[in-house]
A and B are shown apart, each in its own frame.
Chain A
């Protein structure tokens, strides 16, 4: 398997605060890589730095095919503006979902088109994945429930041909039944694209995750196979602050 993304020794400041202090993250082609850690460990900041909303102070963000030649070699995309990063084929679903409340579902999706016709080509597939989107096609984003907004946010990241999705805590604030639906959708998605998933909900992470990277205090402290993490209550206790139940 080859790497699609390789983050090395990433440091990011927000204001004068040194948030990321050496994040390493390797994402293999295909499947779901979970980015785990306690509150404030730097998970969301890592995603924001990769997508280009925050500029790294040092370190590299290597993306396969990020160069002009679009070959398999890794190119450092650190510090590029977000729109350029996105156009390299990265979709981003932020923690607050970033649904535009004054725009209809259709307009939210159209906004993500990188060329005319992207949405038309994907619409059937999208509404099969998230049937609610079709039901509320002409409704304002602000009228949707939290779960529907999450579906819309993920659906929006699927409109253009993205080879990598960065999804930040999709389960946040959702009812367990909705989280289960979400898990089903993510399992379906990971067959076709690569996903980096920030998640506090270990059940969801375990259900869809293949590999995991754990951050603590802005540093990478563990990386490996998701199943190993789930099999080790001690690791979970040390890095994630969860009890033995897991």
Chain B
């Protein structure tokens, strides 16, 4: 393997790892805080892509799948807002009545997959949408003898920025203190005079918004299609299992490790590379169920 190939594989892994982080961090914190294993999280991701794409196309030429660069950022924002709103409604009206029946809570989120996915197919057709090209981020740069897509460089930068934002919120704000405390014992937080239920709603909506934003960020990378939700849900589960439920730092590390694994595994065995991610998930669950990167070593769930 040449040095430049090695470097591009690492950069590719980082780029897709950033997407995994954006999807998984909400899933992780929502589980850590509320003990809700949200199977509909992948569907939020997909809705974000569809809503974002609709906004993106309003400003451009649908025939060639492109629009001004600024409208892409607007589209990401729209995807985030739409999913935040859906997340708010879902938590407030469907999940909240079921906190006392955790089994049914999981079952509910599976029903949400059906409703959300089928609604998307109803509105936008079940077919894959055409390619999405962001003019300002199109093209490649040359790394040695290897081309590297500019959009992936953007993803790495954007992902690092969002990691920083999440880190700052979790570690430097009052809401972050509440979240970290609530992951340990939400009831105790409540006895301190904090309305934990409101925080639950906020975190659920914010997690959904991040997933929606990731959906639109994924669009120029691999297109927009109804099955993208299920694909990324599985990836997010793998990331969260590796990172340890409820740990944003663990999620970041898990996402990067998964991204790199997916890049390097085909180089080891093209045929069986596909089994590496789920294989890792099985091994971590069997050998270290609290997660590889869960630094406090506590088990959630």
* A residues apposed to B, CB below 8 Å: 51-53, 81-83, 85-87, 92, 94, 98, 100-103, 107-108, 110-114, 142, 156, 160
Contact = CB atoms under 8 A, between A and B. Distances in A.
B177 A107 contact: yes
A103 B191 contact: no
Contacts of A156: 192
B171 to A, nearest CB: 9
B231 interface: no
B193 A100 contact: no
Nearest to A156: B192
27 contacts: A52-B191, A53-B190, A53-B191, A81-B190, A83-B192, A83-B193, A83-B194, A83-B196, A86-B193, A94-B188, A98-B191, A100-B180, A102-B181, A102-B184, A103-B181, A107-B177, A107-B181, A108-B181, A110-B174, A111-B174, A111-B177, A111-B181, A111-B194, A112-B192, A112-B193, A113-B174, A142-B296
Interface in B180-216: 180-181, 183-185, 187-197
B189 A111 contact: yes
Contacts, number: 66
A52 B196 CA distance: 13
B178 A101 contact: no
A112 B196 CA distance: 13
Contacts of A112: 192-193
A152 to B, nearest CB: 13
A160 B296 contact: no
Interface string B3-44: 000000000000000000000000000000000000000000
Interface in B277-295: none
Given A102-B296, A107-B177, A110-B177, A53 B192 contact: no
Nearest to B174: A110
B86 to A, nearest CB: 26
Given A82-B190, A103-B181, 20 more contacts: A53-B190, A81-B195, A81-B197, A82-B187, A83-B196, A86-B191, A94-B188, A98-B191, A100-B180, A100-B184, A100-B185, A102-B184, A107-B177, A108-B181, A111-B178, A111-B181, A111-B189, A111-B192, A114-B193, A160-B193
B20 to A, nearest CB: 24
B236 to A, nearest CB: 23
Contacts of A53: 187, 190-191
A155 to B, nearest CB: 12
A94 B188 CA distance: 8
Given A81-B190, A92-B191, A98 B185 contact: yes
A141 to B, nearest CB: 9
A83 B190 contact: yes
Count chain B CB atoms within 10 A of each CB in A81, A102, A113 and give the residue with the most: A102
B191 A101 contact: no
A81 B296 CA distance: 30
B177 A103 contact: yes
B259 to A, nearest CB: 27
Contacts of B193: 83, 86-87, 112, 114, 160
Nearest to A104: B177
Nearest to A106: B177
A160 B185 CA distance: 20
Residue among A107, A108, A114 with the highest chain B CB neighbour number at 10 A:
A107
A82 B196 CA distance: 10
Contacts of A81: 190, 195, 197
Contacts of A110: 174, 177
Contacts of B181: 100, 102-103, 107-108, 111
